[in-house]
Chain A
Amino acid sequence: MNLTTFRFFAFAILFIIVYFVVPKKVQWIVLLAASMAFYALAGVKNSFFILITSASTYAAARWIDHLTVSCNSFLKENKNTLPREERKAYKARSVNQRKAILIVTLCINFGILCVFKYANFIIQQVNHILRAAGSGEIGFLYLLVPLGISFYTFTSMGYLLDVYWEKAPAQTNYLKMLLFVSFFPQITQGPISDYRQLSGQLYAEHPFDYKNFSWGVQRFLWGLVKKLVIASISGKYSQALFASYPEYSGISTFIAILFYALQIYADFSGYMDMMCGLCQILGIELAENFERPYFSKSISEYWRRWHITLGAWFKNYIYYPVGFSRFATSIGKKGQKALGDKFAKDMPATIALIVVWFTTGLWHGANWGYIIWGLVNGMFVIATLWLEPVYARMRQFFHIRETSGGWRAFQVLRTFVLISFIKILPEVGGLRAGLNLWAQVVRGASIIPHTFAELLPFVDDYLNFAVILIFTVILFIFSLIERRKPVREAFNKWPMILRVFILALFFVIAILFGARADGLNGAFLYAQF
């Protein structure tokens, strides 16, 4: 169900009413029913896979938890009666059993994800080899990827790992587990929730709260404006230029790249605002995915502020396990003598970062464009890690004060431009097209636009352009103010009639000026991941 349709609005309104009308004890059942209905509307057949994931995760978590509890109680009971060696052996057996259950479950679920998302990519690579060897090719699989498979697989596997590491308790009610995995506001584009943060809220009783309602509605409508106005119109502009970029000037291409950065931010954060708003009405606080990312001073900082929950997932479940693994730390230690303490400290982190960024690229899409995109991001993060002392010396040499406004503004601008350029690598029809677009910024520098129409050839309607400009400025100002104090707190001090009028105006503007994101039929960009 497309979230920008009246069909979804009707669904959401009906759901909210039912949620607050039913006895509070069964509110979580309403959430589950709505989530399953939402999922089934995207294709009943695909519900099968989410049921497999939730059931296997539930069973594995219960089993692991049972083994952990029995092992701990056995050890406790026999602390004084059994010799240490025997207790150690018992514990090792239990750990091995738990590890086996974990590995099998991870394989099942990541296996399903791989078949749907990566099988054709792997077949493509195998076919390259087979062609080179002169033998026949393997046929591609024609599979419809289940809605939100990347998101719900990561959410449930994160939960399983937490149970395995004894960070979270195992859920004893399968339906509650199913709700956590399938919770519809997060199923299509995240956030990838932490079980400990979300589950309690999902199963708790939530009385109706006026403040939550009004704040939630505000946030939902602001998200709608971001998506329909800013993202859709800027997307139209950038796609129009990307479709025939060799004809245009370098500066026009550069501006289109910035429009793409604006589109993807407004699109993704718009979705998050809509869903966080909806959850706030219910009294549920979803994890935030953005913290003004385009105000970051470095790429590392940017990735701590963009798609925060995905970053946190990779940090908790890949970066730390790999970085602290025997393999990574042993490499660091081996080079310590010859290359110093910094090598010993940074090398394990570097190995972990390479794995993290390779997987991040792969998670976003099964093609080389995304993999290279991930590695380019990783390269910048790793360079920051290793070159920090060099940067510090340079700043000292040029007498740059780190706290000065000018230096910070330069850092923000530099990071924004860099990120914008990296973003388009996989997004314009493959790696080659992305690189060509980069080249066009330089190649097209000789074409000097003389008129507004030549500068912004993709602007077909000045009214739309004015609207997107106004809302982009509003977004920018909000972000600036947000740094010091929450904008919504100030907004909510205004008289109700004025607030409602502004929201109604935003709504009508979103409907009237909301443009079609070509080729996506109004869908959200991140839903494809």
Chain B
Amino acid sequence: MHSSDSNTTEKKGVFSRTWVRVAAAVILFVVFVLAIAAIVFRPYGRIYSAGNQFDLVVLGASESMWGADSEVLTRDTGMNTCILASERCDYAGKYEMLKAFLAKDVPDLVILDASNTSLVRDNDTLKEVYLTKVNGLFAKIGTTFRRFSFWEDEYDTAFAEVLNSGVKSWGTVFDGTYEEIFRRHGYEPQYYSTLTEDPKDIAAIRDIWETDLDFDDAAPEMIREIIRLCKEYGVDLMIITFPVSAQSNWTFSGWDKFHGVMTGLAEETDVPYYDFNLLENRSDYYPDATCFRDFEHLNADGAAVFSAMVAELVNCRKAGTPYPYRFYDSYEEAKEHSYYAQFQ
């Protein structure tokens, strides 16, 4: 009896000691990983420049990555242009990118791509203000695992290079890729494929995303920060909303609210703002069928057409002449246009 008890105690002791050591090691490991990840987090810190080589910078997310053509802009404006854009970038990320860029190179003009998705996006890139939130910390650590790199001599094609293809974003581990999410719901993926004109598919897309434009209140704050930064460096700034597909405009609600926020900001800060989704007869310039690569992004042809229009806008602004294109005042008005009607 005595011997058996002693064995049990010894076994329990060994058992608990072993597991305590394992738990301690695992906890320490996780803490160290998180700490190191937080310390080395510099998503937009690695921006190179030979110094003062660019006159025009297009600052944005994937909309400008795909939708701005630096060659067209350089050719038509005579300003050496680079696209400073990163996929899934929110306004805090754009701020960080611009800050790092301005430390090396001060251009004459910055065009801020005010894509609507940046206003509603979860914070992929964060400023300290978000770190008070637990989810912000997780997002920050998650972002650490996706490194962004801009190559010195390839500014014009600079894009977010997620170097580690093996380690994909944390979200896809649990939810799967966009394509997988679509398939789970019984639809063929539409997000990266050719746009559909079938109202049933469009409705399906809307159901799957299950979200309408729901604004992140911190985003306008970051736009103000970007405006302040440009003023500090004496850089001229224009805000432009790049066109998304007409289908996208129709699929999601809340566009007028978005427009209201942006025009309010523009008036408040006296920065010119143009929303190219509201261009009159937009389908004459960049129709969904031929100028878009997917739901939200222009393709190369669309980018060339659109960049030429932006270049014209820049030239008009420099020359002080009126811009020849007209815009609707609201999405409500735009939706009355026949092009939108076909989706209703």
Q: Which residues of A contact B (CB under 8 A)?
A: 2, 4-7, 10, 208, 210, 213-214, 217, 228, 460-461, 463, 496-497, 500-501, 503-505, 507-508, 511-516, 521-522
Cα A180 to Cα B324 in complex, Å, equals 75
Do B33 and A508 have beta carbons less than 8 Å apart? yes
In the complex with contacts A210-B18, A515-B163, A5-B168 CB distance below 8 A:
yes
Cα A228 to Cα B164 in complex, Å, equals 8
11 A-B pairs besides A7-B173, A516-B163 with CB distance below 8 A are A4-B166, A6-B167, A6-B168, A213-B22, A228-B164, A507-B29, A508-B144, A512-B147, A512-B164, A513-B163, A516-B165
A212 to chain B, nearest CB (A): 11
Do A497 and B33 have beta carbons less than 8 Å apart? no
Do A508 and B37 have beta carbons less than 8 Å apart? yes
In the complex with contacts A496-B25, A511-B145, A504-B32 CB distance below 8 A:
yes
Residue from the list A10, A208, A504, A522 in contact with B173, Cβ < 8 A? A10
A435 to chain B, nearest CB (A): 31
Cα A511 to Cα B36 in complex, Å, equals 12
B68 to chain A, nearest CB (A): 23
Residue from the list A208, A500, A511 in contact with B25, Cβ < 8 A? A500
Cα A522 to Cα B164 in complex, Å, equals 8
Do B167 and A505 have beta carbons less than 8 Å apart? no
Do A210 and B21 have beta carbons less than 8 Å apart? yes
Sorted nearest first, the 8 A-B pairs with minimum C-beta distance are: A4-B166, A504-B32, A522-B166, A516-B165, A514-B164, A500-B28, A508-B36, A522-B165
Q: Which residues of B contact A522 (CB under 8 A)?
A: 164-166
Q: List 14 A-B contacts (CB under 8 A).
A: A4-B164, A4-B167, A5-B173, A208-B18, A217-B25, A496-B25, A508-B33, A508-B37, A508-B144, A511-B145, A514-B164, A514-B167, A515-B163, A521-B166
Residue from the list A213, A214, A501, A511 in contact with B164, Cβ < 8 A? A511
Q: Which residues of B contact A497 (CB under 8 A)?
A: 28
B152 to chain A, nearest CB (A): 9
Q: Does B1 contact A (CB under 8 A)?
A: no
Do A460 and B18 have beta carbons less than 8 Å apart? no
Cα A5 to Cα B168 in complex, Å, equals 7
Q: Which residues of A contact B147 (CB under 8 A)?
A: 512
In the complex with contacts A6-B170, A508-B40, A515-B164 CB distance below 8 A:
yes
Residue from the list A7, A210, A515 in contact with B22, Cβ < 8 A? A210
Do A514 and B33 have beta carbons less than 8 Å apart? no
Q: Does B343 contact A (CB under 8 A)?
A: no
Q: Which residues of A contact B25 (CB under 8 A)?
A: 214, 217, 496, 500
B145 to chain A, nearest CB (A): 5
Interface of A is mostly: helix
B149 to chain A, nearest CB (A): 7
Q: Does B327 contact A (CB under 8 A)?
A: no
Residue from the list B46, B144, B166, B170 in contact with A514, Cβ < 8 A? B166
Cα A460 to Cα B149 in complex, Å, equals 11
A500 to chain B, nearest CB (A): 4
Residue from the list B24, B29, B163, B170 in contact with A504, Cβ < 8 A? B29
Contact bitstring B123-158, A, C-beta under 8 A = 1, else 0: 000000000000000000000110101010000000
Cα A515 to Cα B161 in complex, Å, equals 10
Do B166 and A5 have beta carbons less than 8 Å apart? yes
Q: Which residues of B contact A516 (CB under 8 A)?
A: 163-166
Q: Which residues of B contact A214 (CB under 8 A)?
A: 25
Q: Which residues of A contact B173 (CB under 8 A)?
A: 5-7, 10
Q: Which residues of B contact A503 (CB under 8 A)?
A: 29
Query: Quick one: which of B21, B24, B29 has the most chain A CB within 10 A?
Result: B29
Do B164 and A507 have beta carbons less than 8 Å apart? no
Q: Which residues of A contact B166 (CB under 8 A)?
A: 2, 4-5, 228, 514, 516, 521-522
Q: Which residues of B contact A513 (CB under 8 A)?
A: 163
Q: Which residues of B contact A501 (CB under 8 A)?
A: 28, 32
Cα A214 to Cα B23 in complex, Å, equals 11
Do A500 and B145 have beta carbons less than 8 Å apart? no
Q: Which residues of B contact A504 (CB under 8 A)?
A: 28-29, 32-33, 36
Do A5 and B36 have beta carbons less than 8 Å apart? no
Cα A238 to Cα B28 in complex, Å, equals 37
Cα A10 to Cα B168 in complex, Å, equals 13
| Closest B residue to A499 using CB positions | B25
In the complex with contacts A4-B167, A516-B165, A522-B165, A500-B21 CB distance below 8 A:
no
| Closest B residue to A503 using CB positions | B29
Q: Which residues of B contact A512 (CB under 8 A)?
A: 40, 144-145, 147, 164
B64 to chain A, nearest CB (A): 23
| Closest A residue to B149 using CB positions | A461
A494 to chain B, nearest CB (A): 13
Residue from the list A2, A514, A521 in contact with B163, Cβ < 8 A? A514
| Closest A residue to B151 using CB positions | A460
Cα A497 to Cα B35 in complex, Å, equals 14
Q: Which residues of B contact A228 (CB under 8 A)?
A: 164, 166-167
Q: Which residues of B contact A496 (CB under 8 A)?
A: 21, 24-25, 28
A511 to chain B, nearest CB (A): 5
Q: Which residues of A contact B40 (CB under 8 A)?
A: 508, 512
Contact bitstring B5-36, A, C-beta under 8 A = 1, else 0: 00000000000001001101100110011001
Q: Which residues of A contact B167 (CB under 8 A)?
A: 4-6, 228, 511, 514
Q: Which residues of B contact A217 (CB under 8 A)?
A: 25
| Closest B residue to A221 using CB positions | B29
Q: Which residues of B contact A6 (CB under 8 A)?
A: 167-168, 170, 173
